[in-house]
Amino acid sequence: MVAAARSLPFEHMPCVAHIIQRTITVSLRDSGFDGALAKCRKIVGHFKHSPANTAELKVQQASHGQTEESLIQDVATRWNSTLEMIKRIQHNKEPLKATLVQQKHNLATLTSAEYDRLANLETLLEPCRYVTELLGGDKYVSCSVVLPALCHLLRTMEISDVDPAYIVRFKAAFKGDLNTRKENTNLSWLKLATALDPRFKDLRCLPKAEREEVWQKLSQMLKDRDTESQPCSDEMEPEPPKKKVALLLLGSESESDEDANFNDKTLDRYRAEPSVSIDTCPLQWGSAHTGAHGRLAQLAQKYLATPASTVPCERLFSLAGHVVQKKRSALSSENVNKLVCLSNWLKEKQTMNWLTEVMSHNTFAHSYCY
């Protein structure tokens, strides 16, 4: 699919959520968490494959005053499933211990040191879950959030003096792998999208040496758009008098300078305005400021409309897969479309509530590096 996309006359944008998930997988493999995670998977499988064991666990959960909940098995192709498995095991630590003590099994239980490792790993993976879910939204602009979000992840993975050796290995592997994959993305597109978003136009997620280059490219793009928008001469029109042609040639240089100055003033005016709040929609902001930033607003519509990940379309395919099953093979295409739409509408209210919560959580917005 990537090769096919590169053959098309369009710019290719890789899925950033896939990149983050792949980086997490590589970091877990290279940092020494395999032993503790293998034990977690076997414990989860012990209860998943036996209804009797699950019933005993629920009894222990009730006796400890906890809500009855099932354990979660991590799957390599399911994002954030490792984090959810760890969180569920940590939350049910005491019920699990009490249940396993009463049963006969050959499981290797988790030690106190391994529980501490899992707690530290949960702290490391939580920002990754937040960023992955943020970039996987389809109700808001996500392309311009990529570089600030990746900058936030890299800052959270800074090695400190109090980090144990396995955390140091995880952070080092995460930063190295993410930086390598970041270079293979369409960075020029992402930089322009970030600059055209009034929330992140300060470009604090980029090194200072790269910021002016982005604005120069935007200025050149505005000039090119002005050149393309100029009407072409029609060969069928009668040839104008030579004196009038000479007058047009005399005025052409002055007009081009004015256009250049206009473009520079447009960018300067846009850059001089304060950044808007993190919960502002950049497309709505651009629509409201079309009079002041008309040409920039047109560029913003092009760059900000690009999704940061393939999550929205994959979510739609998954929804259709749940509707069309072997037991429903006789469904007509019309009924399938209706069922998919109904399912989407029923979840819309829940999606909007989640979106409000995510956009209000703006911790990454204040952690850019200069």
Q: According to the model, what pLDDT value does residue 1 have? A: 76
Helix and strand counts by DSSP (H, E) for the chain: 16, 0
Q: According to the model, what pLDDT value does residue 368 have? A: 44
Burial 43-63 (b: 16+ CB within 10 A, else e): bbebbeeeeebbebbbebbee
Amino acid at 337: N
Cα 141–chain centre separation: 10
Q: Is the pLDDT of residue 264 over 80?
A: no
- Average confidence (pLDDT) over 174-199: 91
Closest C-alpha to 157, from 121, 181, 190, 184: 121
- Arithmetic mean of pLDDT over the chain: 81
pLDDT classification of 248: cutoffs 50, 70, 90: very low
Closest C-alpha to 201, from 303, 336, 130, 350: 303
Q: Is the pLDDT of residue 235 over 70?
A: no
- Average confidence (pLDDT) over 165-169: 92
Q: According to the model, what pLDDT value does residue 150 have? A: 93
pLDDT (tens digit per residue) in 194-224: 999 999 999 999 998 899 999 999 888 888 8
Under a CB-based contact definition with an 8 Å cutoff, are residues 17 and 79 in contact? yes
Q: According to the model, what pLDDT value does residue 337 have? A: 83
pLDDT (tens digit per residue) in 319-352: 777 777 777 778 888 888 888 787 777 776 665 6
Closest C-alpha to 297, from 364, 174, 176, 198: 198
Q: Is the pLDDT of residue 237 over 50?
A: no
- Average confidence (pLDDT) over 217-242: 62
pLDDT classification of 361: cutoffs 50, 70, 90: low
Gap between the terminal Cα atoms of the chain? 36
Q: CA-to-CA distance for 54 and 49, rounded, in angstroms?
A: 9
Q: According to the model, what pLDDT value does residue 39 have? A: 92
Q: According to the model, what pLDDT value does residue 167 have? A: 93
Query: DSSP letters of 135-195?
Result: HT-SSS--GGGHHHHHHHHHHHT---TT--HHHHHHHHHHHHHHHHHHHTS-HHHHHHHHH
pLDDT classification of 86: cutoffs 50, 70, 90: very high
Q: CA-to-CA distance for 148 and 367, rounded, in angstroms?
A: 8
Between 25-29, 144-148, 261-265, the lowest mean confidence (pLDDT) is in 261-265
Burial 300-331 (b: 16+ CB within 10 A, else e): beebbebbbbbbeeeeeeeeeeebeeeeeeee
In a 13 Å sphere around the CA of 176, the CA atoms on its Cβ side amount to: 11
Q: According to the model, what pLDDT value does residue 366 have? A: 46
Q: CA-to-CA distance for 347 and 343, rounded, in angstroms?
A: 6
Tokens standing for 174?
């995460």
Phi, psi of 69 (to 5 degrees): -145, 150
Q: According to the model, what pLDDT value does residue 327 have? A: 77
Under a CB-based contact definition with an 8 Å cutoff, are residues 152 and 364 in contact? yes
Q: Is the pLDDT of residue 307 over 90?
A: no
Q: According to the model, what pLDDT value does residue 251 have? A: 39
Q: According to the model, what pLDDT value does residue 8 have? A: 85
- Average confidence (pLDDT) over 179-189: 90
Closest C-alpha to 297, from 308, 283, 307, 280: 283
pLDDT (tens digit per residue) in 102-135: 888 888 888 999 999 999 999 999 999 999 988 8
Portion of the chain with pLDDT greater than 70, in percent = 83
More confident residue, 370 or 19: 19
Q: According to the model, what pLDDT value does residue 351 have? A: 58
pLDDT classification of 5: cutoffs 50, 70, 90: confident
